[in-house]
Amino acid sequence: MNKIKALSLLTLVLFFSGCIPKQEDVKDTFQSNSANTIKKDYKKIQKHLLTLKEKLDKRNPEAYSKKLSPRIYKLISELENNFLLKYKKTTLSNYKDYLQIAFSKDTIALRNDYLILGLYYLVYDSYKISEGHKLIALEYDKEKLIKLHKNLQILKWKLKVDKDIFGNYLFLTWQNNWQIELSKKIKNNQIPYEKIVELKSIKEKKENLLDPSNFSFEVLLTQMIDNVENSLITLGEEPKELTVKAMFLFL
């Protein structure tokens, strides 16, 4: 009889232990639908950031640290906040500092890394990721997300147009190679515009004058903006598109 009771008890334990959901599933179950929607938004932004770093480093190979790259990927992938860069012997802990340095007109080593970390910590702060899971959407700070939405619009614009003190683009993103070649030669009075067909990339037929520019960077930033817009709509806020004049307001 005791053996039968023991066997029955063991069967019940095994049955119920098999039905216990994972810890992550339990957290998501207790979240409201709106809070879970916002969580999905910043998880999408997380993936966009990883893609942006990969593309930015490939297009600007001299502007990032190959040694630090795995650590930055890990930071973003695991949503950590324990990796900081220095600038002029000062450790930077504020996303504003990273972004100010990334868009400085001075010569900046590791410009890509400052940009990616600045963007990451901006998102990290805006979505209050350090506070962990939110049970309800109201635990998110609507004003921070409104500010994030504005700043991402400005960052998308600056990434495309900003130049250093020598007139060089801070980040190569949308430009075709022949456009960069032409820009340098015209600036140095080395070539008249009508000689464009003699540029190496055009002459070797690697690119064509009718080739479209690379919009993939702009698409990535637009996707991030759309994700934040979705979060704001979930919170009952109507996202606003900035005017060109407002683009000069940074952070």
- 168 occurs within a structural domain: yes
Q: Is 53 in contact with 73 (CB distance < 8 Å)?
A: yes
What is the phi/psi pair of residue 64, to 5°?
A: -145, 165
* Residue in the structure block whose two tokens are 């996303």: 95
Task: Tell me if 39 is assigned to some domain.
Answer: yes
* pTM of structure: 0.79
Query: For residues 247 and 20, which has the higher predicted lDDT (pLDDT)?
Result: 247
| Buried-state track 32-46, b at ≥16 Cβ within 10 A, e below 16 | eebbbbbbebbeebb
Is there a domain that residue 150 lies in? Answer: yes
Q: Is 247 exposed, middle or buried (0-12, 13-18, 19+ CB in 10 A)?
A: middle
Within a domain: 188? no
Q: Which of 26-35, 143-152, 165-174, 180-189 has the lowest mean pLDDT?
A: 26-35
Residue linked to tokens 């130049």: 163
Examine residue 241 and state whether it is found in any structural domain, yes or no: yes
- Domain housing 51: 30-175+213-248
Tell whether 107 is covered by a domain. Answer: yes
- Given a cut of 50, is residue 133 above it in pLDDT? yes
Residue 201 exposed, middle or buried by CB count within 10 Å (0-12, 13-18, 19+): middle
Strands 86-87 and 90-91: antiparallel
| 34 in any annotated domain | yes
Kindly state whether residue 226 falls inside one of the protein's structural domains.
yes
Structure tokens at 243: 């005017």
pLDDT tens for each residue of 60-87? 999 999 999 999 999 999 999 999 999 9
pLDDT in tens, 164-212: 998 889 999 988 887 777 777 766 666 665 667 777 777 787 777 656 6
Number of domains in the chain: 1
pLDDT of the residue at 181: 74
Mean pLDDT of 45-54: 98
